[in-house]
Amino acid sequence: MKPSPLAPGRPDHRWTPASAWLVALLSTGLLLSCARADASKPARSKATAGKARKGAKGAKAKKRSGPQVHGKAARKDRKGHWKKLPDKVKRVVEGCGTERAFTGRFVNHKAKGTYTCVRCGAPLFPSTAKFKSGSGWPSFDDAIPGAVKEVRDADGHRTEIQCARCKAHLGHVFRGERMTSKNTRHCVNSVSLEFSKVPALREAYFAGGCFWGVEHLLESVPGVVDATSGYMGGTVHAPTYKQVSGGRTGHAEAVRVRFDPAKVSFEQLARRFFEIHDPTQVNRQGPDRGTQYRSAVFVVDSEQERVTRKLMALLTKKGLKVATQVRPAGTFWPAEGYHQDWYKKKGTKPYCHARTQRF
């Protein structure tokens, strides 16, 4: 990205009221180009309906209720496209533009909650990290772990920040300005953000056989906001249930758990995960066999990996031959609508998942 001579946060710039308004004028209509390989959208393809499992035939995927920040509906549809944005937002989020200084709706915003990605809904910044920098753009001295990706600009002068999930352009990060004790300023465009009064949520991804049972038993844990069945760990774009169940995509049936860390910790969820399935079974769980039924934890950061391996070590000391894989979290593809909340809708209990005390 080619920086403006008075780009916000440049270390060699001294902010004054006059210079701030000058930036506002210069940035009007400014569109900055990004040397980013993923700038183009994925091509649309004809949607393929998944088949219902365990003998259910002809079931059609239910229409999802639309974008939600923390709800069941995902911002990415089954064709792999993120939320459609208005042109003025698209110019910034997908074209790496910059909104005019002091014009964004979140510059002076002071509510308590979580700032989320406008395109995919991922939680990005807690309101507790927001501070007044005087730059004309919302500023945060911290981000939710694993939520923001840093990419060095082509000219080497600045570091762009993107949503780690969908790679939406957020703004830039600057360090060394000594504005807060954390010495970091995430300078973000307001149009790249949405706001939720829900506290900053965390995410965890577990695979332990049929996702119906894993979802059902983890969603009932106090502090869990929602659990979504889906696919992770494979190589095929927007896989269907039919493809995954055939064992040809490399995906595991996985569950995304969104939780409030103030009410439940990742370690508590991971302990429950190891107790609701058999972590010693390889590429199967009960009567379900195949790599798609493998036991795995897809971690979003080093802390989740540390906790997972600690629990696996405890189980090993107890004599269990743990076969659970620990892998970095990749793209999570929500499963077809009829898979979601399966046991709630059926009014029955999981057929191959039950809690067994192991810790």
* Residues belonging to the active site: 187, 210
The token pair at 307 is 């906790």
Alpha helices in the chain (DSSP H): 17-26, 87-93, 211-219, 241-245, 266-276, 302-317, 342-346
Neighbouring-strand partners of residue 288: 285
Q: How far apart are CA 118 and CA 163, in angstroms?
A: 10
Beta-sheet strands, E only, within 59-212: 114-117, 123-126, 130-131, 139-140, 148-152, 159-163, 169-175, 184-188, 193-196, 202-208
Count, residues in the chain: 359
Q: The sheet that has 193-196: what strands, in order across it?
A: 123-126, 114-117, 193-196
Closest CA to 4 of 24, 15, 16: 24
Give the Cα separation of 226 and 256 in Å (integer): 8
- Rg of the chain (C-alpha set): 22
Ramachandran region, residue 9 (left: φ > 0; alpha: ψ -120 to 50; beta: rest): left
**Residue 255 burial (C-beta neighbours within 10 Å; 0-12, 13-18, 19+):** buried
C-alpha 289 chain-centroid distance? 29
Q: Which residues lie closer than 8 Å to 156 by C-beta, 6 or more apart?
A: none
